[in-house]
Amino acid sequence: MSAKKPTGKPKGSAQRKVDWKALEIVHPDAAGIDVGGSEHWVAISPDRDLEPVRRFGCFTADLREMSCWLVEKGVRSVAMQSTGVYWMPVFEVLEQHGLEVFLVNASTLRTYRDARRTCRSASGC
């Protein structure tokens, strides 16, 4: 029995390669957190750490470790995205460590981005 090799384009969404160095850095001292029910993914500027994206657990000790890492790397503000109530303890621990915390709604950001694209293509706003 021989295994069939896939032919043609791979199914599913193909990831575009992004030249991150070409993007303008607006807030160099900011981090982003994707808050989840069982783990949190944290991203900082790649020039601040050899491992700029890290996964942390949800227990208080994990949140304190995450906060200390962010402060140690010179982060001053954090934008968190959460679809549930899991953001509440994260928010409190980050604030206790002196970080400015913003809770953002990913669907609102997506809507804003899409509206901006539509505006530009339709009327040159």
Q: Please report, for residues 46, 73, 78, 120, the alpha-carbon distance to residue 109 in angstroms, rounded to integers and kept in the order given.
A: 23, 26, 16, 17
Contact 93, 63 (CB under 8 A): yes
Least confidently predicted of 27-36, 93-102, 112-121: 112-121
Which of the 8 DSSP states describes residue 78? E
Top pLDDT among 100 and 16 is at 100
Domains (range + CATH), the chain: 28-123 (3.30.420.40)
pTM, 2 dp: 0.69
Could you read off the pLDDT of 51-94 as tens digits, one per residue? Answer: 999 999 999 999 999 999 999 999 999 999 987 889 999 999 99
pLDDT of amino acid 3 = 54
User: Quick check: 15 pLDDT over 80?
Assistant: no
CB atoms within 10 A of CB 52: 14
Contact 54, 41 (CB under 8 A): yes
* Bridging pattern class, strands 53-56 and 77-81: unpaired
